[in-house]
């Protein structure tokens, strides 16, 4: 009576739907970051008599942050190399490294913020610092969300193993994590490198 | 311990003064409360709560979500229309020694609320309502790509609208205009909660829109039925696709901009302040970098609706399908490089103004192509003047008038003369009422049988359309003239010597004519429901339609299509009608209902409310609640159910029997 082959049910193709949807979401996120970058570009000289980017930023520390996040992004990529081969143990191990490095990056960001605030340079000081704290802060919030998702998906991975749904979620997380590194490259170039000139 | 907690720790800025309003505001608030109580009693008396919760609020069915969008938007349209009528009444009488019946602070809130309501909660809501209902049907899909996300988007939209309504009763609304330029909207000049209500209402609704944008883009790209290539999609789908691309690129800008203004207000930052190195003009640029595409987000789906309506009621295939598609793509692209025409007077210099002026004029070309294509579709067709076609005729006249003076205002020196005048107000109302709203109303009448299973009354529909069209001309042609005479927008008082009063009175009469139109629409609904049995759509194809939505029964079953159609050309149903296929039934997977959309929506309301009134504990608790709900949803493995082929056959037979 039926010929299921020639009438595929649309709901079976969820995996590619989710990943395309996630890509589109990331593009919207990219536009949002672009807006914050634009605001920073407009306001970065408006120090209102306060110290400039050159006086405030520590390029070496920012480079250190970049390397930590790069390593985290790399280990996330390695973890996902093992995922299609169903090597759950290795996936777990590499995601643990990703998580630790990501958390370290987050902590470094907080440390950098507290250093600035302790020096009396807060987001209330001037337009330049408002846009700086917001740009870095929004990136940091994304990292925090990524870390939380990582915990949830690792729990699911332990509970369920590498099922289709878990694999799909880990794939999204991986794209997200690489995306955040990409945004950080722009941050490093536009905020720290240009600022340190 | 309790003794150490101060009042402000619990209630933030909220105190009894927030509930004190003048007589007019209070009467609005009280009537809203009374309506709500009456609704609660009605639902309890009729024992409808379970039905409401199970069949509607938690439903992931795209058609039901669409209907919910339409209901919320219709309620908001009523509110926005009352705002408009109040402004017209004020301006008709507030001359010379008379200062009208509205105080200046209240008048400011009304014009702000009117603009915000109409754009975000009426136009956007109705457009998304129709997209929700029609898009999957037109592409031959059973559902959208992410049904739960769709439900969540609706709740974010509803919460945005609810925040606006709540501001009528608790505290007040922004008085800064619908785009709230800083530094006026900064904490220094607007210290109250009004701007915060505006900010969070739009922010939450905007996130919902963004999620919808992603959802429907994936739906269009991934879930078209076999054989439907991009260039075989119905034009409504094409128009929605373009509109969604705009949403995906424009709404993140809004999110970021509103976030920056919120940070200025809440955290004492200096993005847009006039001191400490802030830069208010950046806000104006950013808000219009979103705001101009937004106009096209609204009007493109209306173009799509008219393309369907005109082809169907002319009994012909649409003239110039390919040029229609490319015209929309051109509009989509150009709409991102014209935002500066909203503030030529900012002083960007002649070269910048010239660039944006020319780009704005160029947009008229693809738009003109579309108007001619519709007219050529009617040419030599068998045109049936049903209600949707009447809306189309009104649209062509009003939209063309509005478009022409849009081109006029694209000339920067002319714009310097009419900037912020009533001429501008008349222009954008021509586009948004004549373009968007008429499109939505045409689409609503056209697709009503597909949604509810019976046709709307033609007689009262025609009366309503005529009242709206003539009422519109009476209400807004005087504003064009007043604008040229120098009347600026947002006036709550003017001098008698200006000689403006007669024209303002004509405009007020125009609003009364529109009100009669609204009355006829309500009568139309009531009469149609009463005479439902005579107007049943038994064929599923009441208008002799051309696209896939008409190939299924009316109202469409919850799985849309028992068998996914296969198409080989444009206007697939037109050809399909002559080649009936034997039905083959397969197992269908549908999403289960989920209450988490309602929960997350409700928590986003308390979250915003906490932030608006500085009740930090409430905001934090709500945020944690939202995360927990999301987690529960993420851990839920049981989200779908299957319908066996036998059950599908049973449903299909029942539908046929019904017919």
| B248 interaction partners in chain A (CB closer than 8 Å) | 24, 27-28, 31
Is residue B17 located within the same domain as residue B96?
no
Q: How far is A148 from chain B (nearest CA, A)?
A: 10
Digit-coded pLDDT (tens) for B580-635? 666 678 888 888 999 999 999 999 999 999 999 999 999 999 999 999 999 999 88
Q: How far is A21 from chain B (nearest CA, A)?
A: 6
Q: How far is B419 from chain A (nearest CA, A)?
A: 26
| B561 interaction partners in chain A (CB closer than 8 Å) | none
Residue B13 has what DSSP assignment?
Answer: T
Digit-coded pLDDT (tens) for B136-174? 999 999 999 999 999 999 999 999 999 999 998 899 999
Digit-coded pLDDT (tens) for A79-133? 999 998 889 999 999 999 999 999 999 999 999 999 999 999 999 999 999 999 9
Residue from A5, A7, A170, A179 whose CB has the most chain B CBs within 10 Å, to mutate? A7
Q: Is residue A106 a contact partner of residue A140, using CB atoms and an 8 Å limit?
A: yes
Q: Does B290 touch chain A (CB under 8 A)?
A: no
> Hey, what are B331's tokens?
């509009």
pLDDT at B3 (0 to 100): 59
Is residue B13 located within the same domain as residue B147?
no
Q: Is residue B605 a contact partner of residue B201, using CB atoms and an 8 Å limit?
A: no
Q: Does B640 touch chain A (CB under 8 A)?
A: yes
pLDDT at B565 (0 to 100): 87
Question: Are A10 and B585 an interchain contact pair (Cβ–Cβ within 8 Å)?
Answer: no
Q: How far is A47 from chain B (nearest CA, A)?
A: 6
Instruction: Identify the weakest region by mean pLDDT among A174-178, B24-28, B119-123, B411-415.
Output: B24-28
Nearest residue on chain A to B638, judged by CA atoms? A165
Which domain does B43 fall in, by range?
7-47
- The answer, yes or no, to whether residue A12 has pLDDT greater than 60, is no
Residue B294 in any domain: the answer is: yes
Digit-coded pLDDT (tens) for B542-569? 998 889 999 888 888 899 988 888 888 8
Q: Does B99 touch chain A (CB under 8 A)?
A: no
Q: CB-based contacts of B650: which residues, under 8 Å, 6+ apart? A: none
> Hey, what are B238's tokens?
């094409």
Task: Break chain A down into helix, strand, coil percent, rounded to 5.
Answer: 80, 0, 20
Least Cα distance to B584 among B656, B650, B653, B649 occurs for: B649
- The answer, yes or no, to whether residue B216 has pLDDT greater than 90, is yes
Beta bridge partners of B421: B488
Residue B270 has what DSSP assignment?
Answer: -
The structural domains of chain A, ordered by start, are: 64-195 (1.20.120.80)
Is residue B251 located within the same domain as residue B400?
yes
Question: Are B277 and A28 an interchain contact pair (Cβ–Cβ within 8 Å)?
Answer: no
Digit-coded pLDDT (tens) for B364-410? 999 999 999 999 999 999 999 999 999 999 999 999 999 999 999 99
pLDDT at B563 (0 to 100): 84
Q: What percent of chain A has pLDDT over 70?
A: 93
Nearest residue on chain A to B211, judged by CA atoms? A25
Q: CB-based contacts of B287: which residues, under 8 Å, 6+ apart? A: B179, B181, B254, B257
Residue B604 in any domain: the answer is: no
pLDDT at A3 (0 to 100): 36
Mean pLDDT value of segment A29-43? 96
Nearest residue on chain A to B566, judged by CA atoms? A7
Query: What is the rounded CA–CA span in Å between residue B511 and residue B517?
Result: 10
Is residue B93 located within the same domain as residue B16?
no
Is residue B384 located within the same domain as residue B502?
yes
Domain total in chain B? 2
Q: Which of B215, B253, B277 sits opposite A46 (nearest CB)?
A: B277
Residue with tokens 């125009």: B510
Q: Is residue A98 a contact partner of residue A75, using CB atoms and an 8 Å limit?
A: yes
Task: Mark A28-45 as b/e (b = at least 16 C-beta within 10 Å).
Answer: bbbbbbbbbbbbbebbbe
pLDDT at B2 (0 to 100): 55
The CATH code of the domain that includes B292 is 1.20.210.10
- The answer, yes or no, to whether residue B6 has pLDDT greater than 60, is yes
Is residue B373 located within the same domain as residue B403?
yes
> Hey, what are B82's tokens?
């009352």
Residue with tokens 């997209």: B131
Q: CB-based contacts of A34: which residues, under 8 Å, 6+ apart? A: none
Q: Does B645 touch chain A (CB under 8 A)?
A: yes
CB pairs under 8 A between A and B: 145
Q: Does B269 touch chain A (CB under 8 A)?
A: yes
Residue B567 in any domain: the answer is: yes
Residue B310 in any domain: the answer is: yes
Question: Are A7 and B210 an interchain contact pair (Cβ–Cβ within 8 Å)?
Answer: no
Is residue B487 located within the same domain as residue B507?
yes
Digit-coded pLDDT (tens) for B645-658? 888 888 877 776 55
Least Cα distance to A112 among A95, A89, A88, A136 occurs for: A136
Q: How far is A141 from chain B (nearest CA, A)?
A: 13
Residues in chain A: 197
Digit-coded pLDDT (tens) for B237-259? 999 999 999 999 999 999 999 99
Q: Residue B571, Cα to own-chain centre: how many angstroms?
A: 27
Higher-pLDDT residue of B573 and A65 is A65
Question: Are B252 and A17 an interchain contact pair (Cβ–Cβ within 8 Å)?
Answer: no
Q: What ipTM was assigned to the predicted interfaces of this complex?
A: 0.93
**pTM given for the model:** 0.94
| A13 interaction partners in chain B (CB closer than 8 Å) | 222
Query: What is the rounded CA–CA span in Å between residue A64 and residue A70?
Result: 10
Is residue B27 located within the same domain as residue B87?
no
Is residue B272 located within the same domain as residue B332?
yes
Q: Is residue B333 a contact partner of residue B246, using CB atoms and an 8 Å limit?
A: no
The 3-state secondary structure of B348-414 reads: CCHHHHHHHHHHHHHHHHHHHHHHHHHHHHHCCCCCCCCHHHHHHHHHHHHHHHHHHHHHHHCCHHH
Q: Which of A6, A29, A130 sits opposite B271 (nearest CB)?
A: A130
Residue B129 in any domain: the answer is: yes
> Hey, what are B406's tokens?
């849009």
Is residue B555 located within the same domain as residue B443?
yes
Residue B602 in any domain: the answer is: no
Q: Is residue B589 a contact partner of residue B642, using CB atoms and an 8 Å limit?
A: yes
- The answer, yes or no, to whether residue A6 has pLDDT greater than 70, is no
Query: What is the rounded CA–CA span in Å between residue B511 and residue A24?
Result: 43
Q: What percent of chain B has pLDDT over 90?
A: 78
Mean pLDDT value of segment B458-475? 96
Residue from A31, A132, A166 whose CB has the most chain B CBs within 10 Å, to mutate? A31
Digit-coded pLDDT (tens) for B513-538? 999 999 999 999 999 999 988 888 88
Least Cα distance to B316 among B231, B383, B381, B374 occurs for: B381
Query: What is the rounded CA–CA span in Å between residue A83 and residue B464?
Result: 61
Residue B472 in any domain: the answer is: yes
Is residue B559 located within the same domain as residue B546?
yes
What are the backbone dihedrals phi and psi of residue B361, each rounded to the nearest 5 degrees, phi first?
A: -65, -35
Q: Does B282 touch chain A (CB under 8 A)?
A: yes
Residue B622 in any domain: the answer is: no
Is residue B19 located within the same domain as residue B89?
no
Mean pLDDT of chain B: 92
């Amino acid at each position: 009576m039926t010929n299921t082959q020639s009438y595929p049910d649309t709901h079976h193709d969820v995996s590619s739907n989710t990943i395309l949807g996630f890509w589109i979401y990331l593009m919207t996120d990219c536009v949002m970051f672009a807006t914050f970058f634009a605001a920073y570009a407009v306001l970065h000289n408006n120090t209102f008599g306060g110290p400039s980017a050159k006086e405030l930023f520590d390029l070496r520390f920012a480079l250190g942050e970049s390397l930590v996040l790069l390593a985290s992004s790399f280990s996330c990529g390695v973890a996902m190399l093992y995922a299609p081969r169903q090597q759950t143990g290795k996936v777990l191990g590499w995601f643990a490294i990703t998580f630790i490095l990501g958390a370290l990056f987050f902590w470094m960001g907080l440390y950098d913020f507290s250093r600035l605030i302790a020096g009396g340079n807060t987001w209330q000081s001037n337009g330049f610092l408002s846009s700086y704290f917001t740009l870095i802060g929004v990136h940091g919030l994304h990292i925090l969300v990524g870390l939380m998702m990582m915990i949830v998906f690792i729990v699911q991975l332990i509970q369920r193993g590498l099922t289709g749904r878990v694999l799909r979620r880990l794939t999204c997380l991986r794209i997200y994590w690489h995306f955040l590194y990409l945004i950080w490259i722009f941050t490093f170039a536009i905020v720290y490198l240009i600022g340190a000139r | 311990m309790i003794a150490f907690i101060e009042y402000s720790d619990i209630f933030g800025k909220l105190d009894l003064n927030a509930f004190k309003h003048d007589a007019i505001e209070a009467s609005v608030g009280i009537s809203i409360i009374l309506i709500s109580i009456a609704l609660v009693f009605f639902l309890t008396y009729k024992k409808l709560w379970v039905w409401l919760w199970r069949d509607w609020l938690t439903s992931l069915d795209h058609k039901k979500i669409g209907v919910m969008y339409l209901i919320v938007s219709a309620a908001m349209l009523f509110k926005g229309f009352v705002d408009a009528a109040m402004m017209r009444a004020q301006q008709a009488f507030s001359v010379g020694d008379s200062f009208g019946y509205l105080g200046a602070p209240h008048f400011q809130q009304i014009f702000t609320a009117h603009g915000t309501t109409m754009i975000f909660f009426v136009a956007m809501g109705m457009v998304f309502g129709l997209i929700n209902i029609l898009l999957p049907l037109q592409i031959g899909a059973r559902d959208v790509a992410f049904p739960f996300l769709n439900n969540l988007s609706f709740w974010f939209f509803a919460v945005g609208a609810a925040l606006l309504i709540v501001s009528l009763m608790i505290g007040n609304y922004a008085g800064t205009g619908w785009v709230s330029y800083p530094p006026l909207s900064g904490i220094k000049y607007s210290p109250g909660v009004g701007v915060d209500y505006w900010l969070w209402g739009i922010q939450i609704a905007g996130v919902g829109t963004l999620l919808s944008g992603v959802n429907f883009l994936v739906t269009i790209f991934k879930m078209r039925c076999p054989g439907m290539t991009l260039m075989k999609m119905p034009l409504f789908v094409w128009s929605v696709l373009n509109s969604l691309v705009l949403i995906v690129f424009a709404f993140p800008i809004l999110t970021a901009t509103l976030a920056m203004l919120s940070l200025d207000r809440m955290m004492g930052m200096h993005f847009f302040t006039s001191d400490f190195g802030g830069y208010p003009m950046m806000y104006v640029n950013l808000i219009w970098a979103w705001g101009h595409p937004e106009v096209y987000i609204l009007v493109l789906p209306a173009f799509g609706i008219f393309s369907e309506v005109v082809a169907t009621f002319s009994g012909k295939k649409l003239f110039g399908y390919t040029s229609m598609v490319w015209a929309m793509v051109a509009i989509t692209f150009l709409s991102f490089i014209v935002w500066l025409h909203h503030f030529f007077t900012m002083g960007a210099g002649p070269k910048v103004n010239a660039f944006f002026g020319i780009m704005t004029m160029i947009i008229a070309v693809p738009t003109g192509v579309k108007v001619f294509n519709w007219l050529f579709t009617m040419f030599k067709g068998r045109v049936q003047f049903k209600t949707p076609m009447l809306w189309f005729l009104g649209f062509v006249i009003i939209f063309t008038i509005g478009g022409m003076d849009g081109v006029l205002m694209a000339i920067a020196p002319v714009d310097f003369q009419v900037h912020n005048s009533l001429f501008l107000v008349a222009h954008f109302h021509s586009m948004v009422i004549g373009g968007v709203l008429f499109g939505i109303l045409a689409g609503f009448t056209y697709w009503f049988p597909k949604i509810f299973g019976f046709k709307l009354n033609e007689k009262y529909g025609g009366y309503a359309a005529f009242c709206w069209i003539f009422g519109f001309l009476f209400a807004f042609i005087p504003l064009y003239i007043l604008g040229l005479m120098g009347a600026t927008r947002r006036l709550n008082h003017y001098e008698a010597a200006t000689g403006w009063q007669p024209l303002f009175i004509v405009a007020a009469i125009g609003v009364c004519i529109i009100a009669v139109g609204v009355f006829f629409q309500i009568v139309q609904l009531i009469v149609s429901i009463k005479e439902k049995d005579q107007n049943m759509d038994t064929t599923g194809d009441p208008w002799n339609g051309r696209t896939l939505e008409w190939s299924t029964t009316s109202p469409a079953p919850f799985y849309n299509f028992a068998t996914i159609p296969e198409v080989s050309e444009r206007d697939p149903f037109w050809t399909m009608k002559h080649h009936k296929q034997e039905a083959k039934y397969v197992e269908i997977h549908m999403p289960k209902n989920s209450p988490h959309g309602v929960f997350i929506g409700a928590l986003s309301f308390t979250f915003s409310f906490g932030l608006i009134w500085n009740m930090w504990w409430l905001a934090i608790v709500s945020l944690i609640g939202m995360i927990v709900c999301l987690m529960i949803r993420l851990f839920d493995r049981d989200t779908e159910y299957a319908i066996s082929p036998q059950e599908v056959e049973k449903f299909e037979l029942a539908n046929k029997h019904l017919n």
